[in-house]
Chain A
Amino acid sequence: ETGVTQTPRHLVMGMTNKKSLKCEQHLGHNAMYWYKQSAKKPLELMFVYSLEERVENNSVPSRFSPECPNSSHLFLHLHTLQPEDSALYLCASSQGGGVAKNIQYFGAGTRLSVL
């Protein structure tokens, strides 16, 4: 079992659906991240939470809504998505507290398909 767990592993949704992606880390870390990985594109950082506070939001459309209820859990709420949102969504965590502690550990991702 990995230190960062993502569920579900696969998700198919229509453009009018509402769904949520879940991430849980068992590493005692203080920072959590959402990334989007599309075909033939570099990983795109979407959101960063440090000590449950959002510290980064990289111009992500409002149809993606993150939630971090505690330092171990991170959600990504999805609504009214577009087909171009189909991608692998990766969650990561790190100790936080500066660059020296920022080794990010990743989950296996949720493969999202929007029809």
Chain B
Amino acid sequence: AQKVTQAQTEISVVEKEDVTLDCVYETRDTTYYLFWYKQPPSGELVFLIRRNSFDEQNEISGRYSWNFQKSTSSFNFTITASQVVDSAVYFCALTIYSSASKIIFGSGTRLSIRP
């Protein structure tokens, strides 16, 4: 069975601090994709990134960076120099090759950035 665990339920930091959101996943499939989505107060889930299981290269996009480590089954997300607009719930998710239509979401981490 597949599972995504986001152990941090809520995180609160002061603006300009760096913050890392943890994600641990479980799957026996060798071909899978990992995702991060952002859900601001407006409700819409916004797609941030997708990474496939064969590409362990870390990625940076502006203030966002992702660290994928198959050895620890983790796909962590770091926001550098956080801003108030980063306040949202962040979801890590997993989909596997044999069940392409199904995305398994973690329970989310609520991030609050204080001015």
**Residues on A close to B: CB < 8 A?**
2, 31, 33, 40-43, 45, 48, 50, 55-56, 88, 90, 92, 96, 98-99, 102-109, 111
Cross-chain contact B102 with A45 (CB below 8 angstroms):
yes
Interchain nearest-CB distance for B72 vs A (Å) = 21
Docked CA distance A36–B27 (Å): 23
The answer to whether A108 touches B43, judged by C-beta atoms less than 8 angstroms apart, is yes
In contact, A56 and B44 (Cβ under 8 angstroms): no
Please, which residues of chain B bring their CB within 8 A of the CB of A48? 101-102
**Chain B contacts with A in 54-99, Cβ cutoff 8 A:** 91, 95-97
Top 8 nearest A-B pairs (CB, nearest first) are A99-B100, A106-B45, A108-B44, A109-B43, A43-B105, A108-B43, A48-B101, A42-B107
Residue of B nearest to A94 (CB): B101
Q: Which size class do B's interface residues fall under?
A: 20 to 34
Using Cβ atoms and an 8 Å threshold, which residues of chain B touch A42? 105-108
> How many whole Å from B51's CB to the nearest CB in chain A?
12
Q: Which of A31, A40, A41, A88 has a CB less than 8 Å from the CB of B101?
A: A31
Given contacts A99-B33, A102-B101, contact A43 B43 (CB under 8 A): no
Whether B43 contacts A56 by the Cβ 8 Å rule is: no
Q: B50, A56: Cβ atoms under 8 Å?
A: no
What are the residues of chain A within 8 A of B31 when measuring CB–CB? 99
Q: Which of A50, A102, A111 contacts B103 (CB 8 A)?
A: A102
Instruction: Identify A102's interface contact among B37, B43, B95, B107, CB under 8 A.
Output: B95
By CB atoms of chain B within 10 A, which of A48, A55, A92, A106 has the most?
A106
- Does B30 lie at the interface of the complex (its beta carbon under 8 Å from any beta carbon of A)? no
**Are B50 and A103 touching (Cβ within 8 A)?**
yes
Residue from B42, B45, B91, B108 having most chain A Cβ neighbours under 10 A: B45
* Cα-based distance from A33 to B47 in the complex (angstroms): 15
**Chain B residues near A111 (CB-CB < 8 A):** 43
A107 cross-chain contacts in B, Cβ below 8 A: 44
**A43 adjacent to B91 (CB under 8 Å):** yes
Q: How far is the CB of A75 from chain B (nearest CB, A)?
A: 19
In the complex, are the beta carbons of A99 and B43 less than 8 A apart? no
